[in-house]
Amino acid sequence: MALMVLKTLEAMGPLHGYGIARRIEQISGDRLSLNYGSIYPALLRLEQERAIASEWGMSENNRKAKYYRLTAAGRKQLKQETADWEEASAIVARFLAAKESL
């Protein structure tokens, strides 16, 4: 979840919680259906880790909303976790391939 949030913020720029949840759902092609409420603990954790920062702002249709944006530390974390994830999935993929070739 943290990785998805960070990636979304990188791609979209500052965004509110609802927007992030929506976006994640869209990107996954609605294959990932999540409770929107569960995004907030994840956001808070990232904020506590100083990977993202938040401030209140106005939404496109003039609603007050809390906007989250990526910090420098967050960018670094994203790069790191992306690399980690790619490596991990590559390993798993190789395993699966190896099994088929047997």
- Token pair belonging to 1: 């979840």
Calpha distance 11→2 (Å, rounded)? 14
Query: What does each C-alpha distance from 102 to 77, 91, 95, 97, 98 come to in angstroms?
Result: 38, 17, 11, 9, 7
Say which amino acid occupies 62. Answer: N
Closest approach of another protein to the CB of residue 10, in Å: 18
Which lies closer to another protein via its Cβ, residue 49 or residue 86? 49
Element (H, E) at 47: helix 39-48
Closest approach of another protein to the CB of residue 49, in Å: 5
Which lies closer to another protein via its Cβ, residue 61 or residue 101? 61
50 is a contact residue toward another protein (CB under 8 A):
yes
Integer Rg of the chain from CA: 16
In the shown chain, the binding pattern of residues 2 to 41 toward another protein, with x for contact by CB under 8 A and - for none, equals --------------xxxx--x------------xxxx-xx
Q: Which residues bind another protein (CB under 8 A)?
A: 16-19, 22, 35-38, 40-41, 44-45, 47-50, 59, 61, 63-66
